[in-house]
Amino acid sequence: MFTDMVGYSALAQRDDELALELLEEHRRLLREIFPRFHGTEIKTIGDGFLVEFQSALDAAECAIEIQRALSKRNADVPAERRIEIKIGVHIGDVVHRNGDVYGDGVNIASRIEPLAGPGGICVSMDVERQIRNTLEARFEKLAPTELKNISMPMDLFRIILPWEEQASVDAQSETESTRASRKFLWAAVALVFALMIGVGWWWSERPHKTPTSPAATAPSSAAAEIPAKSIAVLPLENLSRDPDNAYFVEGIQDEILTRLSKIADLKVISRTSTQKYKSAPDNLRDVARQLGVANILEGSVQRSNDRVRVNVQLINALTDAHLWADTYDRHLIDIFAVESEIAKTIAETLQAKLTGSEKAMMAAQPTSDTTAYELYHKGRSLWEKRSGDNLPKAIAFYEQAIARDPKYALAYAGLANSYVLLPLYFSVPQRDAMAKAREASLKALEIDPKLAEAHNALGKILNFDDLDLAGAAREFQRAIELQPNNATAHQWYGNGPLDSLGRFEEAIAETKRAVELDPLSPIINTDRAYPLYYARRYDEALAQSKKTIELDPAFFYSRQILGMVLQAKGDLSAAIAEFEKARQLSGDPLHLSLLAVAKTKMGDKNIAQQVLAELDKVNQDRQGLAYDRALVYLAVGNKEEALRWLEQSYADRDGANLSWINVEPILDPLHGDPRFEALVQKVIAPKSEPNP
């Protein structure tokens, strides 16, 4: 397979920075897709790829998936940011030498690719013969073509993609007869238009009958958009008499999900969005549509002494078809093999493509200690809740799990992810929490370098503690590569280095993907609003914020972003109301500062001093106080003090606030000030050395 990026050279001459940005995005996207179809990247050639596959079918399906992904991406971006590529595929003998490939097979593929046209796929007759009866696609035969340096004319075919209009690869120049035909066409259109007016008048004057509802005859558009290879694992029913087994049952559900989430060819809903449902619900189709999936796994678990029975059934919820069911009676120690077998069977039933690495990760056994297993899942369940004292409790369970099994990499990753968030919710010194988070994440990666959760935690550490946005981006990308359905990785990557660096379209796409994978999570839905806010797309941010509050009216973080959006739109009274609610729900000093900003704009001349006095009373180990003071000083126009406290925030390594210094609308009055711009560069400039 040869690929080529359309218009790259011309774009590089006009805007080399944008060209490089799109080139890197294009490379990331394609490199994520190649392995799913057993594709081996041989090399890059400028803005194109040379890729080798095990079969013609793999190559063709990979090409279609690439064009589908780009088509979907391009639908949401302006024309100047679109990425279009041409793809050529040929099958033939090649010679491998020093990591490269040579021969007519390569040469012909390179000559075929330019004929595909933007967004197109061109294949040789040899490829078409191999795949015509197995690929669900139509082919358009091109005129016999002479290829440069190829002696014989070749029959070539263009794959007709489902979402595109049927068009010839080579547009024909408009002839006189074509123009005459067009005139005739316009006359016909005018006639039809006149007839439509007449019919419309007749219809308006005739007696009316109640029309048939369109819903009765048209298929649901929402259902049509749900991917066939998508699944939600509902909470498994605990049939054990002991209620303490609830965490064990939750653990089985979570482990099945974790294994499935490593499969790039599947869409897998996170557990936080499935927990509100019970197993075997009456309204299975409604549940599936709410979660955006076609398939549901439901079942039950019964544990007795050292035995466990797991019943599961896989259902296509949109058609109510039972796809597979099984019962596993095993010793307790065998539960990990059961979880792996269930995930593998689901993948096979849904015909998901599995790479070798995905198969290996699905079969991996995280621990052999069932008690450590239960302790880990108790911690994970509490970590997902965030609020109250759940994070310290989660840390305690993770530490107990590690004490039981010092080689339990997932428990170290859970510990790291808890310490990362601790300063945001409690008066815990950031330097202490981040040091412990770093130690735990590096230990997890020492045990298992392919653990997505540990890469995700390290990304957050680099983002918040090191202010290393480039390093954080690398870790989040690695986490997503290892676990494509990790909603938190998409969330932290989007509302993290991407929007901090002003890469808003990518940030919005990542947070959108996070919501698709965890549609009922308040924290992920809230973080979906932030890139929209930073991009000054306030109406969209407002709609997303209100949607999040519908999910959980008591979640302070969603109240915070709603207030910030309302303030940006000029609705200060409504913003103040939201900041007050957020303050009551969390006690975070940031909400005092945001209140000071809004009330000062409303004309309150005393609020700034009152808030500064309040901040002096707060535990000074609380994360972000320097940034909070900077906002208050800026609100009253004291830029010198505002800059002094922002510089102190940088000295405190307060990446949880300072990462967004260049895109935060509240800080707009400081742009252009040399001290501020110097500080911005310190925050967003790439670090010279990659982190371990």
Which residues make Cβ contacts (< 8 Å) with residue 21, sequence separation at least 6? Answer: 503
Q: For residues 675 and 16, which has the higher predicted lDDT (pLDDT)?
A: 675
What is the separation of C-alpha 265 from the centre of its chain, rounded to a whole number of angstroms?
Answer: 14
Domain boundary among 143, 160, 177: 160
507 in a domain, yes or no? no
pLDDT for residue 46 = 82
Predicted confidence band of residue 604 (pLDDT cuts 50, 70, 90): very high
Nearest residue to 520 via CA among 190, 272, 249, 222 = 272
Predicted confidence band of residue 455 (pLDDT cuts 50, 70, 90): very high
- Measured CA angle at 185 (ends 179, 186), to 5 deg: 95
| φ/ψ (deg, to 5) at 484 | -60, -25
SS3 assignment, position 89: strand
CA distance 110 to 89: 8
For the chain, the first-to-last Cα distance in angstroms comes to: 35
The predicted-structure confidence for 239-258, as pLDDT tens digits, reads as follows: 886 777 888 898 899 999 99
Tokens of 533: 């806010």
Q: For residues 47 and 401, which has the higher predicted lDDT (pLDDT)?
A: 401
pLDDT at 220 > cutoff 50: no
We report the CATH number of the domain holding residue 354 as 3.40.50.10610
Split into its structural domains, the chain has a count of 2
User: Are 258 and 351 found together in one domain?
Assistant: yes
pLDDT at 111 > cutoff 80: yes
263 in a domain, yes or no? yes
Tell me the sheet residues that pair with 44.
49
SS3 assignment, position 32: helix
pLDDT for residue 639 = 97
Q: Can you give the residue range of the structural domain that contains 327?
A: 224-365
CA distance 47 to 4: 6
pLDDT for residue 214 = 30
Burial of 197 (0-12, 13-18, 19+ CB in 10 A): exposed
pLDDT at 182 > cutoff 50: no
Predicted confidence band of residue 205 (pLDDT cuts 50, 70, 90): very low
Q: What is the pTM of this model?
A: 0.68
What is the separation of C-alpha 262 from the centre of its chain, rounded to a whole number of angstroms?
Answer: 13
Predicted confidence band of residue 77 (pLDDT cuts 50, 70, 90): confident
User: Are 279 and 148 found together in one domain?
Assistant: no
User: Are 43 and 154 found together in one domain?
Assistant: yes
The predicted-structure confidence for 114-170, as pLDDT tens digits, reads as follows: 888 889 999 988 888 888 777 877 888 887 666 765 655 678 889 988 776 444 333
User: Are 125 and 271 found together in one domain?
Assistant: no
Domain boundary among 345, 365, 385: 365
Mean pLDDT of 22-49: 90
357 in a domain, yes or no? yes
Predicted confidence band of residue 535 (pLDDT cuts 50, 70, 90): very high
**Which range, of 92-101, 377-386, 644-653, averages the lowest pLDDT?**
92-101
The predicted-structure confidence for 659-673, as pLDDT tens digits, reads as follows: 999 999 999 999 999
Q: Which helix (H) or strand (E) holds 303?
A: strand 295-304
User: Are 46 and 138 found together in one domain?
Assistant: yes
User: Are 229 and 156 found together in one domain?
Assistant: no
pLDDT for residue 67 = 92
Q: What is the mean pLDDT of the chain?
A: 86
pLDDT for residue 217 = 28
pLDDT at 615 > cutoff 90: yes
88 in a domain, yes or no? yes
**Which range, of 104-108, 256-260, 607-611, averages the lowest pLDDT?**
104-108
Predicted confidence band of residue 206 (pLDDT cuts 50, 70, 90): very low
User: Are 119 and 243 found together in one domain?
Assistant: no
Inter-residue contact 313 to 322 (CB < 8 Å): yes
395 in a domain, yes or no? no
pLDDT for residue 572 = 97
CA distance 31 to 480: 12
Mean pLDDT of 289-313: 91
- Asked whether the CA dihedral 436, 437, 441, 447 is positive or negative, the reply is positive
pLDDT at 37 > cutoff 80: yes
pLDDT at 60 > cutoff 80: yes
User: Are 105 and 237 found together in one domain?
Assistant: no
440 in a domain, yes or no? no
pLDDT for residue 7 = 87
User: Are 244 and 338 found together in one domain?
Assistant: yes
pLDDT for residue 689 = 52
Pairing of strands 237-238, 295-304: parallel
Residues in the chain: 692
Tokens of 613: 């006095």
Nearest residue to 409 via CA among 449, 458, 459 = 449
pLDDT at 216 > cutoff 60: no
User: Are 34 and 124 found together in one domain?
Assistant: yes
User: Are 147 and 64 found together in one domain?
Assistant: yes
Helices (H), 245-389: 246-260, 271-274, 284-291, 335-349, 356-363, 370-385
Inter-residue contact 415 to 441 (CB < 8 Å): no
pLDDT for residue 150 = 60
Instruction: From residue 624, give the alpha-carbon distance in Å to each of 1, 565, 620.
Output: 51, 21, 9
**Which range, of 381-385, 582-586, 592-596, 638-642, averages the lowest pLDDT?**
381-385
User: Are 271 and 145 found together in one domain?
Assistant: no
Domain boundary among 365, 396, 431: 365
SS3 assignment, position 98: coil
Nearest residue to 165 via CA among 226, 128, 117, 131 = 117
Mean pLDDT of 582-592: 91
pLDDT for residue 204 = 41
677 in a domain, yes or no? no
572 in a domain, yes or no? no
The predicted-structure confidence for 425-452, as pLDDT tens digits, reads as follows: 777 888 899 999 999 999 999 999 999 9
We report the CATH number of the domain holding residue 96 as 3.30.70.1230
Mean pLDDT of 221-225: 54
Q: For residues 628 and 283, which has the higher predicted lDDT (pLDDT)?
A: 628
pLDDT for residue 686 = 79
